[in-house]
Chain A
Amino acid sequence: DQQVKQNSPSLSVQEGRISILNCDYTNSMFDYFLWYKKYPAEGPTFLISISSIKDKNEDGRFTVFLNKSAKHLSLHIVPSQPGDSAVYFCAASAKGSTLGRLYFGRGTQLTVWP
């Protein structure tokens, strides 16, 4: 069963606008959430993370929001740029689980058009 869900397989946004990528999870033992970005023929690269005790983390144009009661998080990219076009994966690690064992969603393909 999918413990991390990304229900939107794709998102298309105009350059300069905000991109909002959503992620839902089911496991209340998740203690950290991470976003990875993946370009074609490359491995996923780490973007930003958030602890389950926080509700917001910001790094430049990227902000992740966590709503623990709703088991929902979102990644905001402002302003969006064409170079942001990639597949974005939401991932989570569980307290007490194997170090580095991440549970990934299926990804959302973001396309930023000029």
Chain B
Amino acid sequence: GAGVSQTPSNKVTEKGKYVELRCDPISGHTALYWYRQSLGQGPEFLIYFQGTGAADDSGLPNDRFFAVRPEGSVSTLKIQRTERGDSAVYLCASSHRLAGASGANVLTFGAGSRLTVL
């Protein structure tokens, strides 16, 4: 597609429920990222995929969070046993940059999925 697409745009759930957030990156972008933006904060890195594999998942806050990208395109962020502190905007970004290339790595972000845990 023309841009990074994220669904749903808004999700309200109850504490303890399971949630899936979907990201459809720009066609041809091999690198995909998930970031989380809590109220009053800047985006914080969660996980990075290069192709199908998670190259760096060190930003995931705990084992309730998991992400997949089975075919190297669409990615799903999965949150189990949601807690009120998980409420945030979850941003997906993609990039065509390859490791070793010079210059700033510019990420293209989607509009985000706003998650509210009641």
Chain A contacts to B: CB under 8 angstroms: 4, 6, 32-34, 36, 41-46, 49-51, 89, 91, 93, 98-107
Residue B31 CB within 8 A of the other chain: yes
Q: How far is the CA of A104 from the CA of B91 in the complex (A)?
A: 13
Task: Assign chain B's interface to a size class.
Answer: 20 to 34
Q: How far is the CA of A95 from the CA of B52 in the complex (A)?
A: 24
With both beta carbons as reference points, the residue of chain B lying nearest to A39 in the complex is identified as B111
Per-position 1/0 for B84-118, Cβ under 8 A of A: 00000001010101010001111111111000000
How many Å from the CB of A53 to the closest CB on chain B? Answer: 11
Per-position 1/0 for B45-80, Cβ under 8 A of A: 100101000011011000000000000000000000
Q: How far is the CA of A51 from the CA of B103 in the complex (A)?
A: 8
Q: How far is the CA of A46 from the CA of B4 in the complex (A)?
A: 14
* Residues in chain A near residue B44, CB distance under 8 A: 104
A-B contact pairs, 16 of them (CB 8 A): A43-B4, A43-B111, A44-B91, A49-B104, A49-B106, A98-B55, A99-B31, A99-B55, A99-B95, A100-B33, A100-B48, A100-B97, A102-B105, A103-B45, A104-B42, A104-B44
